[in-house]
């Protein structure tokens, strides 16, 4: 028995499902999860000493590759100064300046410990600011596991087939209105009926929790427009896309200025960090200035801030995102050509360092419903064959993939050659 299998059996005795986050359990692909013990650059090493080229990157944060020396050094130095003070520190101020400087319209930012906390608080703030209860989200988007947001949710909720979680009171869920991603007509229709009751629209500006779906032209602009017309706030959930698709996130890429932005993943450099920020008059409603309550014992933790700042320095290098985007583009072109040569119906999406691939005969996947029509069985077979070839992809057909700056030509070529081998066996 492999060490991963032994550990998974042991894990199940004391951890629900043997994992601390559901998608890790391989429910989306079948079989047992791989347990990892170390990672460096583009590679993961499992408990049985097998190496994999990694396209999960801890679900997005490891954009400079694993164990980047500058980040590890920053963490070590910060740790020597103290692990947590629960009081203000200089490094939090530095982080706030660095984040605000990259996002137009972000005057103030607050650090939290996860993407879930960031979106949960952004929703509370939108409700507190507008005095309205209803929120709009899109089917297949995932914004963390706060109660209001676990309605037709993506990511693990979708993979496990529980997009509407038990435990969320119906009286709360009824305030969450879920529409179709990339369908601006539906949004306009809803707002024409009840726009004045809606506190906010929350959206992934590039959806990465139902595979990878870029916004259609006019979709985000339309959302900005209906929010302006109704007084609802536009929340761009950039937990995944922030510092991933560009230095100014998806909002910079598409030229949309939201009222609130949520961040996570990359800004923590691999440590548990989230953030939400926006215009001063809105953010001033948060405690201690305003009445909307939010707090955190470990928020702005100095070790996490040090990791995040080192990360942000790395991604701020000239040409960083152009190079990253080129890699993801080349990777997807390689996947596509391998599928075409093997006669497998297949298509891909890519935005910056984020990518998605679909076993589908439709060639432009832009809607949730199209994702659900993809050939899941073929994906699962592909997944396990790729794993055998030493390539670690997200273990679900509903997740985006990520490249890092540590993925060089050699890793990309090796991956594409593995895809060529595998496509022929599907």
Residues that bind ligand PMP (CB under 6 A): 59, 114-116, 119, 142-144, 155, 204, 208-209, 237, 239-240, 264, 274
Q: State the minimum distance, in angstroms, from the CB of residue 112 to ligand PMP.
A: 9
Residue placing its CB nearer to ligand PMP in the complex, 324 or 338: 324
Cα distance between residue 305 and residue 89, in whole Å = 10
Terminal CA-CA length for the chain: 27
Active-site annotation holder among 52, 55, 129, 142: 142
Chain position whose Cβ is nearest to ligand PMP: 115
Q: State the minimum distance, in angstroms, from the CB of residue 117 to ligand PMP.
A: 7
Cα distance between residue 249 and residue 266, in whole Å = 11
Q: State the minimum distance, in angstroms, from the CB of residue 241 to ligand PMP.
A: 7
Residue placing its CB nearer to ligand PMP in the complex, 346 or 392: 392
- Decide if 147 is catalytic: no
Residue placing its CB nearer to ligand PMP in the complex, 144 or 252: 144
Give the CB-side neighbour count of residue 27, counting CA atoms within 13 A: 17
Q: State the minimum distance, in angstroms, from the CB of residue 87 to ligand PMP.
A: 24
Residue placing its CB nearer to ligand PMP in the complex, 59 or 138: 59
Q: State the minimum distance, in angstroms, from the CB of residue 141 to ligand PMP.
A: 7
Residue placing its CB nearer to ligand PMP in the complex, 325 or 396: 396
Cα distance between residue 230 and residue 192, in whole Å = 9
Q: State the minimum distance, in angstroms, from the CB of residue 104 to ligand PMP.
A: 20
Q: State the minimum distance, in angstroms, from the CB of residue 76 to ligand PMP.
A: 24
Say if residues 99 and 260 touch (Cβ distance below 8 Å): no
Q: State the minimum distance, in angstroms, from the CB of residue 333 to ligand PMP.
A: 25
Residue placing its CB nearer to ligand PMP in the complex, 311 or 423: 311
Angle between helices 219-230 and 184-194 (to 10 degrees): 10
Cα distance between residue 1 and residue 373, in whole Å = 36
Active-site annotation holder among 265, 375, 392, 398: 265
Residue placing its CB nearer to ligand PMP in the complex, 195 or 352: 352
Residue placing its CB nearer to ligand PMP in the complex, 223 or 416: 223
Active-site annotation holder among 55, 129, 181, 237: 237
Annotated catalytic residues are 142, 237, 265
């Amino acid at each position: 028995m492999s060490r991963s299998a032994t550990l998974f059996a042991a894990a199940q005795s004391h951890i629900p499902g043997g994992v601390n986050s559901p998608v890790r359990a391989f429910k989306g692909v079948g079989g047992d999860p791989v347990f990892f013990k170390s990672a460096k650059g583009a590679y993961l090493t499992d408990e049985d000493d097998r190496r994999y080229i990694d396209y999960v990157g801890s679900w997005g944060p490891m954009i400079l590759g694993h164990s980047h020396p500058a980040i590890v050094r920053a963490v070590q130095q910060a740790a020597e100064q103290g692990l947590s003070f629960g009081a203000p520190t200089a490094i939090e101020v530095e982080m706030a300046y660095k984040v605000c400087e990259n996002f137009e319209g972000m005057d103030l930012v607050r650090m939290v410990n996860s993407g879930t906390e960031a979106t949960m608080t952004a929703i509370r703030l939108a409700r507190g600011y507008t005095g309205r209860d209803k929120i709009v989200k899109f089917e297949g988007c995932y914004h963390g596991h706060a109660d209001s947001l676990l309605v037709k949710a993506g990511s693990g909720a979708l993979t496990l087939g529980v997009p509407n979680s038990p435990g969320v009171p119906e009286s709360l869920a009824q305030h969450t209105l879920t529409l179709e991603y990339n369908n601006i007509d539906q949004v306009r229709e809803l707002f024409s009926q009840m726009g004045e009751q809606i506190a906010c629209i929350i959206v992934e500006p590039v959806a990465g929790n139902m595979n990878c779906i870029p916004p259609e032209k006019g979709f985000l602009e339309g959302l900005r427009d209906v929010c302006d017309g109704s007084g609802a706030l536009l929340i761009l959930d950039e937990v995944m896309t922030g510092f991933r698709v560009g230095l100014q996130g998806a909002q910079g890429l598409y030229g949309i200025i939201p009222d609130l932005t949520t961040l996570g993943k990359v800004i923590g450099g691999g440590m548990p960090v989230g953030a939400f920020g926006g215009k001063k008059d809105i953010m001033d409603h948060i405690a201690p200035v305003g009445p909307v309550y939010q707090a955190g014992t470990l928020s702005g933790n100095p070790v996490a801030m040090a990791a995040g700042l080192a990360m942000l320095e790395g991604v701020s290098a000239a040409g960083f995102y152009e190079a990253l985007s080129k890699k993801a583009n080349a990777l997807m072109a390689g996947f596509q050509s391998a599928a075409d040569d093997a006669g497998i119906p297949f298509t891909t999406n890519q935005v910056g360092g984020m990518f998605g691939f679909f076993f589908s005969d439709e060639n432009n996947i832009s809607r949730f419903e199209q994702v659900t029509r993809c050939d899941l069985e073929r994906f699962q077979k592909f997944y396990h064959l790729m794993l055998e070839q030493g390539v670690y992809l997200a273990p679900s057909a509903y997740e985006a993939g990520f490249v890092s700056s540590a993925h060089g030509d050699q890793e990309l070529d090796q991956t594409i050659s593995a895809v060529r081998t595998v496509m022929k066996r599907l």
